[in-house]
Structure 1
Amino acid sequence: MEYIFLLIIGLLAGTIGSLVGLGGGVIIVPALLFLSAAHVLPTMSPQMAVGTSLVVIIFNGLSSTLTYMKHKMVDYKSGLFFFIGSGPGAMLGAWVNQHVHMQHFSLYFGLFLIAVSFLLMFQSRLSPSSKRTFPVVRTYVTNEGEEVTYGYHPLIATFIAFVVGFVGGFFGIGGGSLMVPAMILIFLFPPHVAVATSMFIVFLSSIVSSLTHVFIGNVAWTFALSLIPGVWIGAKCGAWLNRRLKGKTVVTLLRIVLILLGVRLIMQGVGL
């Protein structure tokens, strides 16, 4: 029965993660910790949940990236540049994770997710029509037929990517929950491009950070193998849905998912 639960969790994580660019870790980590606390799964530490999630996210990121690639939604050059910062950050985050207790982890994770959801409330004030200049400039035609200009400052982008990588490695989420808002809010990426490129970065960063957890021994391989099939299929479903939604709808869904997960984790962190 527990493997059926894991397959369903993987399907939901893959779909939601690929749809809004989170990588699925924001579903997998809380689900593993909740099922462990409810004695549906064997007792699992935050470190084991994070390590297992990061291994699974590799396949989530790969599946959704392959789908987005077919529709030319991935900005490879920007993604690889951001990975220069997120890779080392992911490794550091995975190492720091070893020193955090269960209740503190859930509380910090929940507060972090809610903070990101509120940041997205300001997205409308930073529309692509805002007059900004970037050293690196890109253009993209949205689903609505509008040509959008976006870009980034290399130094700022590297710093932000490092922070995102650290958060992803620390919480086991791949960093998408912070990378997508950063791309939309700071660098004016169109939501669809931000999501697709984020999944590409999540794929690369998860490989790096998961290696740290594999080396330490923080991966429940049986659970990971049960999650991967659902995540692979779900990622393709999420990418399919993303292409058919408006940018504002994608952002709204992202905010709702983050708030719901954040509240649940805070309740768990304070013992409710």
Structure 2
Amino acid sequence: MEWILLLLLGLFAAILGSIMGLGGGIIIVPALMVLSGYTAILSGITPQVAVGTSLLVMIFTGLSSTLAYIKQKKVDIKSGLIFFAGSGPGALFGVWLNKDIEVNAFLIFFGIFIIIVSFILMIRKHIKPIKLAKKGGIRRTYENDLGETIEYGYQPVVGIGIGFVVGMCSGLFGIGGGSLMVPAMILLFAFPPHMAVATSMFLVFLSAIVSSISHISLGNVDWLYAAALIPGAWAGGQIGAVINRRLKSDTVVNLLRIFLIIIGIRLIYQGITGM
């Protein structure tokens, strides 16, 4: 029964992660930590193993989603590679930060982080994009499904800097970084939401490779858990990309915000009380 639960967890996390460009780790990591107190096979799982296993799974979620989004011509590969120039080193730094963190501190800080992410998602519709691409910056255009041409842009140094922070969060929390990268691309760089999500999944894929290799070398991956999560994650990545194309994201964002707040409060409570 527990293995079926892990399969469904991988599927559910990947679907939501692919729809929103979050990668799914923001659901897998807290779910593994919470389930560790209620199921025999996950008992005693450490934050390091939860993060390392989540990052390995996100390689498959990211690749599955990216391939689907490339077919839809929504991935800005050039921008993704520029952001990865920062997120790659950031991911290694995050792994280094993760190796000695205590369980209770991890739960509290991760819970606070998730609540902050939910707040960012809440206000993203009410903030006008900041035009950061001036002279010397990168400007690009995108034609949406309505035939409208949308211009967006950024300074490469700013994109790399934000990418470093995103990569650090990926390596530290095992979340893929999309929970920060998608709002940053939309709010700061005026990316069209669908392209921001698709490009974020490409970045999740690249960052997860770097982070997971580091966690594997540290022995932070449980291969049995990963084997149970990966099939659902691969299928979920494809399904999420299809839903993203056909469904307005507002309803999903609202549900996800509520979901993140509940998880964040639960993890903070568990970290403080040890229950």
**TM > 0.5 between the two?**
yes
- Specify the alignment match of 2:71 in structure 1: 70
Q: What percent of counterpart residues are identical?
A: 58
Q: Measure, in 2, the Cα distance between the counterparts of 1:215 and 1:232.
A: 24
Q: Which amino acid aligns with 1:85?
A: G
Q: Distance in 1 between matches of 2:180 and 2:256?
A: 11
Aligned to 1:90: 91
Equivalent position to 2:148, from 143, 146, 149: 146
Q: Identify unmatched segments of 5+ residues in structure 1.
A: none
Counterpart CA distance in 1 for 2:254 and 2:149 is 22
Q: Equivalences for 1:234-253 in 2 at 5 Å?
A: 234-246=236-248, 248-249=250-251, 251-253=253-255
Q: Aligned to 1:140, what secondary structure does the other structure show?
A: strand
1:259 — aligned with what? 261
Structure 1 equivalent of residue 28 of structure 2: 28
Give runs of aligned pairs for residues 1-272 of structure 1, distance below 5 A: 1-40=1-40, 41-127=42-128, 133-134=133-134, 135-246=137-248, 248-249=250-251, 251-271=253-273
Q: Which amino acid aligns with 1:182?
A: A
Give the aligned residue type for 1:168: S
Distance in 1, matches of 2:196 and 2:126, equals: 17
Equivalent-residue separation in structure 2 for 1:132 and 1:99 (angstroms)? 37
> What is the CA deviation profile of residues 91-150 of structure 1, one whole-angstrom value per residue up to 9, with x for unaligned ones?
11011101111111111111112112222333234345x766441111122344432211
Distance (Å, rounded) in 2 between the aligned partners of 1:2 and 1:132: 48
The verdict on how the C-alpha distance between 1:187 and 1:260 changes in structure 2, with shifts beyond 3 A counting, is: farther
User: Could you tell me how far apart the structure 1 residues matched to 2:245 and 2:175 are?
Assistant: 23
User: Displacement of 1:209 after TM fit?
Assistant: 0.5
- Kindly provide the amino acid, as one letter, of the partner of residue 3 in structure 1: W
Cα pair distance change 1:25/1:109, threshold 3 Å: same
d(CA) in 1 for partners of 2:27 and 2:184?
20
- Seen in structure 2, the aligned counterparts of structure 1 residues 22 and 236 have a Cα distance that, compared at 3 Å, is same
Deviates more, 1:223-232 or 1:245-254: 245-254
Give TM-score scaled by structure 1 length. Answer: 0.93
SS at match of 2:142: strand
Give distance in 1, aligned partners of 2:190 and 2:71: 23
Letter in 2 for 1:225: A
- What is the distance in 2 between the residues matched to 1:233 and 1:256? 25
Judge conservation of contact 2:132–2:153 (CA < 8 Å) in 1.
Answer: no
Cα distance in 2, alignment partners of residues 186 and 236 from structure 1: 28
Deviations 1:34-56 (A, max 9, x none): 11122342310000110111000
2: CA distance, partners of 1:16 / 1:199? 12
CA contact (8 A) 1:180 1:198 kept: yes
In the superposition, the TM-score normalised over structure 2's length comes to 0.92
**Counterpart-to-counterpart distance in 1, 2:159 and 2:173:** 21
Aligned residues: 271
- Where does structure 1 differ by over 6 angstroms across 4 or more consecutive aligned residues? none
Give, in angstroms, the shift of residue 2 of structure 1. 1.6
CA contact (8 A) 2:132 2:154 kept: no
* Inter-CA distance 269–226: structure 2 relative to 1 (3 Å threshold): same
Deviations 1:164-211 (A, max 9, x none): 100111001111111111111111111111110000000000000111
**What SS is found at the alignment partner of 1:73?**
coil
Per the alignment, do residues 109 and 131 of structure 1 end up closer, same or farther by CA in structure 2, a change over 3 Å counting? closer
Letter of the 1:202 counterpart: V
Displacement, 1:248? 4.2
